[in-house]
């Protein structure tokens, strides 16, 4: 359901994904009309003095409509529109975005769009967009910002903010330190709840997703957490140390962001403190950060399984070719290998032509079965459920499940083979080959992700290509080999 929120820029703005899609359609329609007006004006006879005047009036009208439409949206929706337009139109719309929204939009857009937007901004605009960002937000943009802009922004930071920026830049992008923020509420344990309440009332606003207050000592060592509900329902004269909770989860800045996401999912967290090796509170991770991590990991896994990296959907053809060609060429090699294996049994197929129609079933079912196993294993690896202790048990379980499914499915396939061939031996070969190829698919589906994970590689990258190679080549070999042995 749509939600109404208040913000300093646009009060009572509705947040709704469907609104963003409708806005995208309206922007595209306005851009189409703008292009049409320019075309019609240019088609007018030379010497017609009305042409430039009409063009100028229509141009300003369309530009004003676009500006009004775009700047009435939430920055996240503006980012969605920019990601959905070709580069030329994207840059045109970006020039119409009010400067006060530049920082928020740059933080919302995908990396592959952000770089193209920054390239169109001059140095003064970039400095203005980043000078009001928090240290952790600036760190997110460092990879895309020119060095002179980073140096200029650092001059405007306090000593504390500069230290936070340097610290955030020192952690890997996929670590807890890379996603944590430094805005949080801290109190001492030797004050009363009334003092804490007065302190909170003096703040202009609380950091986003503040569900708990962190209790620290004079050296910033974390002692406990004080939830807002505990603060509100207890006697204001109570001391913080008496009502704070010492049962809480902490994250280390060197933990992976995937581990943090797993912890948030498991314990239903809204925020979690980040402490260093000496127990000092240095930051926090919020549910907003974790949602971004989960979405990015999901996108990366979906692309990785096809052997691709994230790219601009409107990227130049040559860049897209470099992204997609390597794994497609590998897939071509694997398909050629499968065809070569099948060609070695030309005599068998020529004697029993129906085998040519049946062998694709063996390869296809083996691939689908292996893909189910592989998806399960990759997901289990992503959330950390696969360990050295349970890996072999998992392998045995998948083999047993595949065997049982194979027995049931191969019986149906055998009946089909008997129906179209009227041959019981062909049906039996079909059953044996299908069971064997499904077990091969299960083995590849388990071992490829596990081996890649063991060597610190993304278990999803190219896994489907390798699975297809195994189930096609070995499936053909198994089916036609059995046919050669028992039918010819």
Question: Six-digit token pair at 89?
Answer: 């139109």
**How high is the pLDDT of residue 52?**
56
- Tell me, what's the pLDDT at 1? 33
Given a cut of 90, whether residue 300 has pLDDT beyond it is no
Asked if 97 contacts 39 with a C-beta cutoff of 8 angstroms, the reply is no
Secondary structure element (H or E) that encloses residue 322, with its range: helix 317-343
> Percent of the chain having pLDDT more than 90?
32
Query: What is the pLDDT, as a whole number, of residue 147?
Result: 86
Cβ distance 301 to 439 under 8 Å? no
How high is the pLDDT of residue 157?
Answer: 85
CB atoms within 10 A of CB 485: 10
Report yes or no: 348 and 484 within 8 Å, Cβ to Cβ.
yes
Q: Which long-range contacts (CB under 8 A, 24 or more apart) does 338-341 make?
A: 338/363, 338/469, 338/472, 338/473, 338/476, 341/473, 341/476, 341/477, 341/480
Element (H, E) at 281: strand 281-286
| 82 token code pair | 């920019």
Cα–Cα distance list, 21 to 16, 80, 295, 424 (Å): 9, 8, 19, 57
Residue 116 pLDDT more than 90?
no
- Give the pLDDT confidence score for residue 6 in this predicted structure: 37
Token pair of 328 as six digits:
């497609």
Look at residue 48 and tell me whether its pLDDT is greater than 70. no
* Domain residue spans of the chain: 7-174, 186-304, 317-486
Cα 89 versus chain centre, distance: 25
Could you tell me the pLDDT band of residue 306, with boundaries at 50, 70 and 90?
Answer: low
Q: What is the DSSP letter of 98?
A: -
**Which of 308, 444, 458 shows the shortest CA–CA distance to 368?**
444
pLDDT tens digit string along 408-437? 989 999 999 999 988 999 999 999 999 999
Measure the CA–CA gap between 261 and 246, rounded to whole angstroms: 22
Superfamily the domain 317-486 falls into: SLC41 divalent cation transporters, integral membrane domain (1.10.357.20)
Q: What mean pLDDT is predicted for residues 39-66? A: 61
Q: Which residue has the tokens 């009001």?
A: 132
Give the model's pLDDT for residue 225. Answer: 96
Reading the block at residue 360, the tokens are: 């694709």
Dig out the tokens for 72 from the structure: 């009435």
| Furthest CA-CA distance within the chain | 94
In the predicted model, what is the mean pLDDT of the chain? 84
- Give the residue carrying structure tokens 């189409």: 32
Tally of CB atoms within 10 A around 131: 15
Q: Which two tokens stand for residue 421?
A: 């061939």
Interstrand relation of 222-227 and 186-187 (parallel, antiparallel or unpaired): unpaired
Could you tell me if 287 and 208 are in contact, meaning their C-beta atoms sit under 8 angstroms apart?
A: no
Three-state DSSP state, 162: helix
d(CA 426, CA 440): 21
pLDDT at 53 over 60: no
CA distance 200 to 185: 9
The span from the CA of 204 to the CA of 51, in Å, is: 54
CA-based torsion, 474, 477, 482, 485: positive or negative: negative
Long-range contacts, 50-58 (Cβ 8 Å, 24+): 58/34
Quick check: helix, strand or coil at residue 226? Answer: strand
Residue 156: pLDDT band with limits 50, 70, 90 = confident
Query: pLDDT confidence of 37, banded at 50, 70, 90?
Result: low
Domain 7-174 top-level CATH class: mainly alpha
- Candidate from 99-113, 380-394, 445-459 with smallest mean pLDDT: 380-394
> Does residue 254 carry a pLDDT above 80?
yes
Q: How far apart are CA 80 and CA 354, in angstroms?
A: 52
- Cα(305)–Cα(321) distance, rounded to whole angstroms? 17
pLDDT tens digits, residue range 318-362?
766 676 677 677 777 877 888 888 888 888 888 888 888 888 899
Domain 186-304 class, CATH top level = alpha beta
Cα separation, 432 vs 436, whole angstroms: 6
Q: What SS3 class is residue 256?
A: strand
User: What pLDDT does 41 receive?
Assistant: 60
> Taking the CB of residue 422, how many other CB atoms lie within 10 A of it?
10
Q: Which of 144, 153, 63, 133 is nearest to 110 (CA)?
A: 144
Report in angstroms the alpha-carbon separations of 387 from 259, 350, 395, 446.
Answer: 14, 49, 12, 13
Whether the Cβ atoms of residue 274 and residue 177 lie closer than 8 Å to each other: yes
Q: How far is CA 126 from CA 9, 91, 103, 141, 438, in A?
A: 20, 15, 9, 11, 56
The reply to whether 7-174 and 186-304 are identical in fold is no
Q: How many helices (H) and strands (E) does the chain have?
A: 22, 7
Distance of alpha carbon 202 from its chain centroid, rounded?
38
The confidence score (pLDDT) of residue 11 equals 42
Tokens of 417: 């083979």
Phi, psi of 183 (to 5 degrees): -85, 115
């Amino acid at each position: 359901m749509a939600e109404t929120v208040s913000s300093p820029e646009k009060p009572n703005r509705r947040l709704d994904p469907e609104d963003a899609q409708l806005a995208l359609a309206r922007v595209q329609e306005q851009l189409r009309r703008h292009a049409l007006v320019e075309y019609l004006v240019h088609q007018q006879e030379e010497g017609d003095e009305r042409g430039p005047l009409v063009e100028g009036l229509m141009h300003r009208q369309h530009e004003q409509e676009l500006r009004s439409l775009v700047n009435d949206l939430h920055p996240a929706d503006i980012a969605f529109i920019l990601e959905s337009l070709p580069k030329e139109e994207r840059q045109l719309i970006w020039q119409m975005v009010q400067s006060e929204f530049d920082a928020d939009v740059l933080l919302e857009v995908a990396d592959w769009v952000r770089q193209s937007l920054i390239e169109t901004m001059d140095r003064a605009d970039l400095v203005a967009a980043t000078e009001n960002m928090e240290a952790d937000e600036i760190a997110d943009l460092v990879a895309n910002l020119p060095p002179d802009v980073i140096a200029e922004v650092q001059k405007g930071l306090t000593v504390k903010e500069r230290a936070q920026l340097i610290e955030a830049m020192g952690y890997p992008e996929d670590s807890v330190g890379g996603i944590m923020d430094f805005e949080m509420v801290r109190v001492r344990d030797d004050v009363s709840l009334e003092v804490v309440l007065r302190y909170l009332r003096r703040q202009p606003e609380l950091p986003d997703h503040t569900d708990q207050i962190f209790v620290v000592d004079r050296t910033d060592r974390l002692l406990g957490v004080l939830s807002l509900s505990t603060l509100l329902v207890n006697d204001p004269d109570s001391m913080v140390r008496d009502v704070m909770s010492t049962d809480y989860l902490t994250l280390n800045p060197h933990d992976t962001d995937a581990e943090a996401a797993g912890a948030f999912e498991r314990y239903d967290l809204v925020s979690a403190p980040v402490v260093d090796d000496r127990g000092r509170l240095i930051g926090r991770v919020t549910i907003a950060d974790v949602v971004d991590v989960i979405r990015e990991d999901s996108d990366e896994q979906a692309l990785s399984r096809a052997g691709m990296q994230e790219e601009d959907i409107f990227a130049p053809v040559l860049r897209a070719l470099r992204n997609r060609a390597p794994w497609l060429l590998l897939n071509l090699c694997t398909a050629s290998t499968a065809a070569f294996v099948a060609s070695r049994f030309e005599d068998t197929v020529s004697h029993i032509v129906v085998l040519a129609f049946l062998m694709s079933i063996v390869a296809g079912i083996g691939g689908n079965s292996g893909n189910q196993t592989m998806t399960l294993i990759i997901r289990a690896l992503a959330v950390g459920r696969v360990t050295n202790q349970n890996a072999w048990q998992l392998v045995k379980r998948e083999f047993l499940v595949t065997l049982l499914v194979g027995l049931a499915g191969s019986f149906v396939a055998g009946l089909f083979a008997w129906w179209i061939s009227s041959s019981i031996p062909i049906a039996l070969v079909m059953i044996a080959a299908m069971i064997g190829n499904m077990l091969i698919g299960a083995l590849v589906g388990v071992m490829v992700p596990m081996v890649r994970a063991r060597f610190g590689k993304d278990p999803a990258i190219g896994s489907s290509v390798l699975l297809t190679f195994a189930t096609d080549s070995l499936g053909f070999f198994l089916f036609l080999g059995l046919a050669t042995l028992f039918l010819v």
